[in-house]
Chain A
Amino acid sequence: MDGSEALKEEIQPNRKENKKVHEPNKRNIWQEMKKNYASYLFLTPKLILFTMFIAIPVIWALVLSFQEYRVTESNIFVGLQNYIASFESTMFKKALWNTFRFTIVTVPFNIISALIIASLIFPLGKLSQNFFRSAFYLPTVTSMVIIAMVWRWMYNYDFGLFNHILGWAGIESVNWLGQSNSALWALIIMQCLIPFGVGIIMYLASMGAISKNLYEAATIDGAGPIKQWLYITIPLLKPTTLYLVILSTIGSFQVFTQIIMMTGGGPDGATETLVHLIYKTGFRDFDFGLAAAQSVILFGIILIFSVIQFRMLRHDD
Chain B
Amino acid sequence: MSEVKDGEPALANGPRASANGQRHGQDPVLVVSGLTVLVRGEDGPRAVVEDLSFSLSRGETLAIAGESGSGKSMTSLAIMGLLPKPGARIGGGSIRLGDRDIAGLSEGRMKAVRGRRIAMIFQEPMTSLNPVLSIGRQLTEAILAHEAIGRSEARRRAIAALRAVRIPDAEGRLKQYPHELSGGMRQRVMIAMAIALKPDVLIADEPTTALDVTVQGEVLELLRDLQRDLGTAVILITHDMGVVAEMADRVVVMKEGRAVETGEVGQLFDAPQADYTRDLLAAVPRIGEGRGRMETRALESRAAPPLVQINDLCVRFPIRSGFLSRVRANVHAVEGVSFEIAAGETLSLVGESGCGKSTTAKALAGLVDYSGDIILEGTNMAGRTSEERKAQRRKVQMIFQDPFASLDPRMTVGDLVAEPMVIHGTARREERWARVAGLFDRVGLSADQMARYPHEFSGGQRQRICIARALALRPRLIIADESVSALDVSVQARVLGLLRELQAEFGIAYLFISHDMAVVENVSDRIAVMYLGQIVEMGTRDQIFGDPQHPYTKRLIAAVPRPDPHARRRAFERAASEIPSPVRMIGDPPNRLELHDLGDGHLVASRA
Chains A and B bind each other: no
Q: Which residues of B contact A (CB under 8 A)?
A: none
* Chain A positions near chain B (C-beta within 8 angstroms): none
